[in-house]
Chains A and B, each alone.
Chain A
Amino acid sequence: MPAGISSTGRSAAGAALLRCVDLLARAALAVACVALVGLGLLPRTGLYRPVTVLSGSMAPAFSPGDVVVVTPEPLRSVRVGQIISYRIPVGDHHVQTHRVTKIIRGGPHPVVRTKGDANNTADPWRAELHGTTAWRVRTVLPRVGWVIFWFRSPLVHSLTVLLAPLLLALIAVAQIWRRPEKTRPEAIADASPTA
């Protein structure tokens, strides 16, 4: 029956498309897991920290929206030319990432002068570095910060952190309540990669 043949042909094409979409979904899931581990969990070990750049004074080394990866640097080995993240000694004491232009005094708590590469003068303070370690820029991940910002915007944040887990829970509940004979084998096959 021609209609039957065409129907199976279409559904075979549909199945191929679905497999393709499923493959993309797997890839997206893998990327998400890498992001969670790399940006969210591993930094808790203290081996490195991803830091989002908010303004452009270090262009072209890095620009707003980039994520820079900083690693611990012993305070004694802070050198001129390194780019370090530290809390500035004035104003709101925000974290700033600038290049060291001068070591005014060395030792366990060095006093440094810093400057943004794109600024025409050095920062108007001498920063005495406290604590046990400085944080030195090692790698730049271009534009990753914009993605983080977007996910942090209130609407997207509530969609992803509240609605998405709620939907997952509803699907799980629906599957538990469904008749077991038909859904069981597929449910297990589908659930295992995400579990």
Chain B
Amino acid sequence: MISSFLRRPRRQPSGTTKKLIATLAILGAAASIAGLGTYATFTSSTSQSHAISSGTVTIALGATGAATNRLNIGASALAPGDTIQRSVDLTNSGSLDLASVTLTTTASPSSLLDTDATNGLQMVIDKCSVAWTESGPPYTYTCGGSTTSLVASRAVIGSGISLGSLAALTAGGTDHMRVTLTLPSGAGNTLQNQSSTISYAFTGTQRAATNK
């Protein structure tokens, strides 16, 4: 009985076995030549302006009303050579590391203060390894740790300005940043009595996809 049960399989199923092995071989071949991968990256952004404070999803600015975010404090009656310092903390409150964080600044209402790239407002962004020590108002900041330049002096309005290697690229990381706006001492009479509202939008892009 057993022998007849086994004899059949021995002669017959070599076809079935072959079919199953061939199935695996063909599926393996199909998978190895099928398609290229597509990444649908997560992007998340948060914005902050002098007039309005807004919420966050993955990257967040510090709370307003303290040294963690002074970007909502305006400045008036600037004279050429004047400097505005504002501190802001940027935190990666998401669970993903980021490939880059960029800053896009826009002005609404706009004026010569932001449209004149040479004599209008110039922007510098530094970060401090510890929280900035604030004094004022008018606010000025000193760093008790080490200072790193994030954005060298440039016109205040820009799109996709790279902020370099931030601690906030890592999930849970925080950067203590200082935004310094200067009205160049060469600013002429045309820049008198101008008024702009500058909005700062920080955009984090997800790190490259990897194997998990």
* A, B assembled together: yes
Query: In whole angstroms, how far apart are the Cα atoms of A171 and B4 in the complex?
Result: 22
Interface size of B by CB at 8 A reads: 51
Q: Which of B4, B41, B44 contacts A55 (CB 8 A)?
A: B41
Query: In whole angstroms, how far apart are the Cα atoms of A118 and B44 in the complex?
Result: 10
Segment of A46-54, A74-82, A104-112 in the binding face: A46-54
A191 interface hit (Cβ, 8 Å): yes
| Contact A171–B18 (Cβ < 8 Å) | yes
A164 interface hit (Cβ, 8 Å): yes
Query: In whole angstroms, how far apart are the Cα atoms of A140 and B138 in the complex?
Result: 58
| Contact A124–B45 (Cβ < 8 Å) | yes
B75 interface hit (Cβ, 8 Å): no
| A55 contacts across to B, CB distance below 8 A | 39-42, 206, 209
| Contact A190–B205 (Cβ < 8 Å) | no
B35 interface hit (Cβ, 8 Å): yes
Nearest residue, chain A, Cβ from B39: A94
Given A57-B42, A124-B45, A3 and B1 touching (CB < 8 A)? Answer: yes
| B104 contacts across to A, CB distance below 8 A | 124
Interface size of A by CB at 8 A reads: 76
B26 interface hit (Cβ, 8 Å): yes
B99 interface hit (Cβ, 8 Å): yes
* Count: A-B pairs, CB below 8 Å: 214
A21 interface hit (Cβ, 8 Å): yes
Query: In whole angstroms, how far apart are the Cα atoms of A58 and B18 in the complex?
Result: 41
| B25 contacts across to A, CB distance below 8 A | 160-161, 164-165, 168
| B57 contacts across to A, CB distance below 8 A | 120
| Contact B160–A125 (Cβ < 8 Å) | yes
B38 interface hit (Cβ, 8 Å): yes
Which B13-28 residues have a C-beta within 8 angstroms of A? 13-28
| Contact A54–B35 (Cβ < 8 Å) | no
CB distance from B209 to the nearest CB of A (A): 5
CB distance from A96 to the nearest CB of B (A): 5
A167 interface hit (Cβ, 8 Å): yes
| Contact A18–B40 (Cβ < 8 Å) | no
| Contact A54–B16 (Cβ < 8 Å) | no
Query: In whole angstroms, how far apart are the Cα atoms of A118 and B35 in the complex?
Result: 24
CB distance from A18 to the nearest CB of B (A): 6
| Contact B43–A160 (Cβ < 8 Å) | no
CB distance from B3 to the nearest CB of A (A): 9
CB distance from B154 to the nearest CB of A (A): 18
Q: Which of A56, A98, A119, A194 contacts B22 (CB 8 A)?
A: A194
| Contact B18–A190 (Cβ < 8 Å) | yes
| Contact A167–B21 (Cβ < 8 Å) | yes
CB distance from A172 to the nearest CB of B (A): 9
Residues of A near any B CB (own CB < 8 A): 3, 6-7, 10-11, 14-15, 18, 21-22, 25-26, 28-29, 31-33, 35-36, 39-41, 43, 49-58, 67-68, 85, 88, 90-92, 94-98, 116, 118-125, 147-148, 151-152, 156-157, 159-161, 164-165, 167-168, 171, 175, 183, 186, 189-191, 193-194
> 28 pairs across A/B with beta carbons < 8 Å?
A3-B1, A25-B16, A25-B20, A28-B20, A29-B23, A32-B26, A36-B26, A49-B35, A49-B36, A56-B40, A85-B38, A90-B100, A91-B99, A91-B100, A91-B205, A92-B208, A94-B37, A94-B41, A116-B41, A116-B43, A124-B45, A125-B160, A151-B30, A161-B28, A164-B22, A164-B25, A164-B28, A183-B11
5 more A-B residue pairs beyond the given contacts A28-B19, A40-B29, A96-B38, with a C-beta to C-beta distance below 8 A: A40-B34, A85-B38, A94-B208, A95-B39, A97-B38
